[in-house]
Amino acid sequence: MLRLRRQQWIEMVAHGLDCLPEEACGLLVGRPDGSIEAFRPCTNTDRSARTYAIDGREILRVERDLDASGNGLEVVGVMHTHTHTDAYPSPTDVERAALLASWHFLIVSLRHPEPVARSYRISDGEVAEERIELVVR
């Protein structure tokens, strides 16, 4: 299960809308149990409306900041938008997830006026949807 706060959801959708017509992406910072404590917007280095990529140096920078903070938080997943399709992993998403099997993959579809989010675990090419709990606090 992925747990995120309303404010994080608002930040993710705003980042997605700001990046249109390209896909947006960012890192989910939290705890291994799926509790998300922060969203870190990232640059889509693919600069594409159909795919996304995050520069490895940007991920390392966030991980180093988290290590230095000593608060026990870590990068536990990634969020990206789909601008023209539903919130389901594309074949490219599944292929690129191969090295990140422990991560949560949150996809926000901006296909319709009301954004839709779905979260997945992807391992060995298998896609399993997980529940999203929106925490109001």
Q: Is the peptide bond before 115 cis (omega within 30 degrees of 0)?
A: no
Q: Which of 10-14, 75-79, 122-126 has the lowest mean pLDDT?
A: 122-126
Q: For residues 97 and 127, what is the distance between their CA atoms, to the nearest angstrom?
A: 10
Q: Give the pTM.
A: 0.94
The CATH number given to whatever domain includes residue 102 is 3.40.140.10
Q: What is the mean pLDDT of the chain?
A: 95
Of the pLDDT bands very low, low, confident and very high (cuts 50, 70, 90), residue 137 is: low
pLDDT tens digits, residue range 96-116?
998 788 899 999 999 999 999
Examine the pLDDT at 51 and tell me if it is beyond 70.
yes
Task: Identify the domain containing residue 84 by its residue range.
Answer: 2-135
- Per the structure, the count of domains in the chain is 1
